[in-house]
A and B are shown apart, each in its own frame.
Chain A
């Protein structure tokens, strides 16, 4: 248990569905991240939030829409996804940018 909780753990959605991934941390961290982990590819940083403000968007398609209402919660809203978006989506938090990150268990997403 790292203190970072992600829900749901598994999600199967159709290409026309809209769903959201949730991440929560009560570690008092100021920075939160979304990563995508696909088979046989390096971890891809998607979004970075620092003090609720988005500081990085790594050319992520607009069908992925992050939301950070406060420093403890981070969402990833999904709509009209493609099968190649199937992956493990990992949330992480760190005390500040540039310090060690603590990861959630991930959400295994399958797009059918």
Chain B
């Protein structure tokens, strides 16, 4: 079945770049997403990339997609303390069903030290 894997924890210093990695198994994925969850809140859609792209930049965020290796990354430039949150990678694939359901990774907790 579909599976999405992320490392659980990343710690960086304020001002550094953060890179959060994700691997997925469904080669039929159409869209891949990054969501952010701040403490006590729901998930907020940060950005997404279509599977025929290999890079997308949106202000401080850069998404890289290596479709051959099924690897997705989110780079946050000039990381701020307000970026501390849990980041979820998610894919929509259709390999096992037609419901187009969103499959989430376990989430990466990003800790930004002043």
Contact = CB atoms under 8 A, between A and B. Distances in A.
Contacts, number: 56
A87 interface: no
Contacts of B48: 100
Nearest to A6: B42
Interface in B14-60: 30-31, 33, 35, 40-45, 48
A106 interface: yes
Contacts of A99: 31, 92, 100
Nearest to B93: A98
Contacts of B107: 42-43
Nearest to B104: A43
The 7 lowest CB-CB distance pairs between A and B, nearest first, are A98-B100, A103-B42, A103-B43, A43-B104, A97-B100, A105-B42, A106-B42
B44 A2 contact: yes
Interface of A: 2, 4, 6, 33, 41-43, 45, 48, 55-56, 90, 92, 96-106, 108
A37 to B, nearest CB: 9
29 contacts: A2-B45, A4-B42, A33-B102, A41-B106, A42-B104, A42-B106, A42-B107, A43-B107, A45-B102, A48-B99, A48-B101, A55-B99, A90-B42, A90-B43, A92-B43, A92-B102, A97-B99, A98-B30, A98-B94, A98-B99, A99-B92, A100-B45, A100-B48, A101-B45, A103-B44, A103-B45, A106-B41, A106-B42, A108-B40
Contacts of B102: 33, 45, 92, 101
B77 to A, nearest CB: 23
B88 interface: yes
Given A42-B106, A106-B41, A100 B99 contact: no
B42 A104 contact: yes
A105 B37 CA distance: 10
Contact of B88 (A41, A43, A55): A43
User: Which of B92, B94, B100, B105 is most buried by chain A, counting CB atoms within 10 A of its CB?
Assistant: B100
